[in-house]
Structure 1
């Protein structure tokens, strides 16, 4: 497979806006962006990771794409806008693709209109269903940059934005484009929170992955985007592994077979050995079943590799989780001190789980040259991605 690199990164999430702010909070294990919020569940608050930084306005000429989700995306895109404009200048507007992932799109903006339709029988003036079309994300980005090439959105729940790397890499290898904007965005909305609530998966407090006391998930929001190309850079996409175990619509295979195979395939594709992986970003949702099966899979394949779940710092950003956590690997690979994202929890290990090596605050691994991240979605849709640090 053609070697591809992640040349630039833009991101925003509950840890902050931009690479510098996010890196500071990430390596400090700062969970202050996780707070109880009203307005999502009926007559009760719920712990969420909400972006509080101001978001840019959508240009007037593109107002049909206006939604909180696209404004979140724009905040991340603007951080790397000079890099993207330079790629367009180099390759041409037809040769830069857009492949972005989302699960919520603009649903939060449409929820008041849908509520009014239920109440009165009619949508309010200005209601636009296209606002919640998943394609809106990629179409907006293509229009914003004046691109004329391929554009697609991927919506596979919690693996959406990680899978954009797979599709874009294939496009580059097939000669369909020379560079691609990849990643994704997702925003908080009542639909998703009530859906997870109906499954009794929401934690009323900060989530506690891999603890014996874990009691559910926190939901968050954010955006993370990369410029991907064949131009050599510090961070390379070393290997990707995907599986679809189809065990259950919403419950992972308790043995972690699909997760294990995704991780194994990523290793095989990279040509690396298990001991070459210096850090693993766990999917780590803090649900009973996810943490159980992921601990089994990770320990069986990678043993005592340093690992952590960053969900207590951002919440589960759903369709944006894959690219958000890939961004954390990108930041760690570029961090001179070798700092790793710490595992924030109560420190009470679950004796029923294999003894995975959860990263303590202040841990550094400057020698780590390859890192892996896991994203597992409803329906048994799994992806593991390995990024490596290259000499440039």
Structure 2
């Protein structure tokens, strides 16, 4: 593919709001996780919450869209001058030539959970009747609502869709943007993802025995599952770099790889065959070899099976040479937002010359053999490969680069 400039990007996670707070947190090896205290949840475990969501007010005219997910989406849009950057792209290309392509897994389902508690009385007793009249399913819970809300908030009229392929969702939209620009359908796209905490996610992953009572420990011999987080992350990709500050983009999308191995509804292929295919496709799309990658941002959920399968997959493509780590020990697993979050973290790794060491690994697993970083490494980073692997074998790998 022709390298695609990412002129602007931003993210908001449990580590902070915007790029600067994340840079400080990464350098200081700070963790954003805390013991689970989400309202009405009585589970042992650790979560990553974004601060300030309850105080967020949506723009005038968008009140019907109010839900935790959209408050998070709006809060993140206000960081790092991203609103102004999109406005400039809209003025340059025209609103109909700027797409909104986002990922999520549960969208605004928390609003539905709250609405069910306020059901009217019905024939079967109290709280068994209609949902409250002020509940707007189409503008909150519906997966497509995220894309329509962000498009409305940004006054964009280009192609708008939401990808929901679990944890690969907001990585796949980078590939979607590349294809639409290459085909001539658009000139720019807002890409990324938003996912917020809710009872369905927390209790669902607990039912799958994937939500660890211990803090998540990627690549640790004692890892017992993931810690859940919420986040929003956006990138603005444009046909050329002229829209970047000083004509210098934040980074470049060099290659995309996607695969679907369909091995199991929730478990990865034990040998990581779909992951191998996605990584090799991303490298081929970028015209690069394994030796051209300086750092790998792993999917790295800290579940026993996922880390083992990804370790095998990475070794099959890269051997044990390329430094790699998971940043989920800092942010938690942000599900449909994870690919977008880790795209931004990959761009920051390139900008800062920083390969962030994974947090919470105390006992290295002797059965895992890639070059996993337990401490920060400061060195030039030219190219990063970022992995995002979802339920059902939906795999995406992206290659990012710095200044051309």
Q: TM (normalized to structure 1)?
A: 0.95
Partner of 1:299: 315
Match of 2:357 in 1: 342
- CA offsets, 1:93-129, max 9 Å, x none? 1111111111121111221212444942331231222
**What's the C-alpha RMSD, in Å, of the aligned pairs?**
1.6
> Does the residue aligned with 1:61 lie in a helix, a strand or coil?
coil
Change over 3 Å in CA distance of 1:168–1:212 after alignment to 2: same
Report the CA distance between 1:210 and its aligned residue.
1.1
What SS class does the counterpart of residue 52 from structure 1 fall into?
coil
CA distance in 1, matches of 2:43, 2:233: 30
1:217 is paired with a residue of what secondary structure?
A: coil
Aligned to 2:69: 69
Residue deviations 1:263-312 (CA, integer Å, cap 9, x gap)? 11111111111111110011111111100100001122112211111111
Task: Give distance in 1, aligned partners of 2:211 and 2:103.
Answer: 23
Q: What number of residue pairs does the alignment pair up? A: 386
Corresponding residue for residue 47 of structure 1:
46
Matched residues in 2 for 1:369 and 1:292: separation? 27
Task: Provide the TM-score with structure 2 as the length reference.
Answer: 0.92
**Stretch moving more, 246-255 or 105-114:** 105-114
**TM-superposed deviation, 1:234:** 4.4
After TM superposition, list the pairs within 5 Å mapping 1:31-180 onto structure 2: 31-39=31-39, 41=41, 43-54=42-53, 56-79=56-79, 80-117=82-119, 119-130=127-138, 131-180=140-189
For the pair 1:252 / 2:268, whether they are aligned, the reply is yes
Partner of 2:254: 238
Instruction: Please say if 1:351 is aligned against 2:359.
Output: no
Structure 2: distance between partners of 1:44 and 1:241: 36
The one of 353, 358, 379 equivalent to 2:392 is 379
Q: Does 1:17 align with 2:35?
A: no
Q: Please say if residues 254 and 289 of structure 1, whose CA atoms lie closer than 8 Å, have aligned partners that are also in contact.
A: yes
- Report if aligned partners of 2:227, 2:333 keep a CA contact under 8 Å in 1: yes
d(CA) in 2 for partners of 1:215 and 1:208? 8
Matches of 1:128 and 1:169 in 2, distance apart?
A: 33
1:147 Cα deviation after fit: 1.7
Alignment of 1:276-287 (within 5 A): 276-287=292-303
SS at the partner of 2:400?
strand
> Is 1:116–1:122's contact at 8 Å kept on the other side of the alignment?
no
Task: Find the aligned partners of 1:8 and 1:35 in 2 and give their Cα distance.
Answer: 33
Q: Residues of 1 paired with 2:374 and 2:201: CA distance?
A: 31
Q: Which residue of 1 aligns with 2:123?
A: none
1:360 aligns with 2:374: yes
Matched, 1:226 2:235: yes
Given that 1:254 and 1:292 are in contact with CA atoms closer than 8 Å, whether structure 2 keeps it comes out as yes
Q: 2:337 aligns with which of 308, 311, 320?
A: 320
Kept in 2, the 8 Å contact 1:308–1:358? The answer is: yes
Partner of 1:27: 27
* The 10-residue stretch of structure 1 (105-114 or 122-131) with the greater mean CA deviation from structure 2: 122-131
Quote the offset at 1:170 in angstroms: 1.0
Instruction: For structure 1, list consecutive stretches of 5 or more residues without a partner in the other structure.
Output: none
Aligned residue for 1:320, secondary structure, equals: helix
Deviation, structure 1 residue 192: 1.0
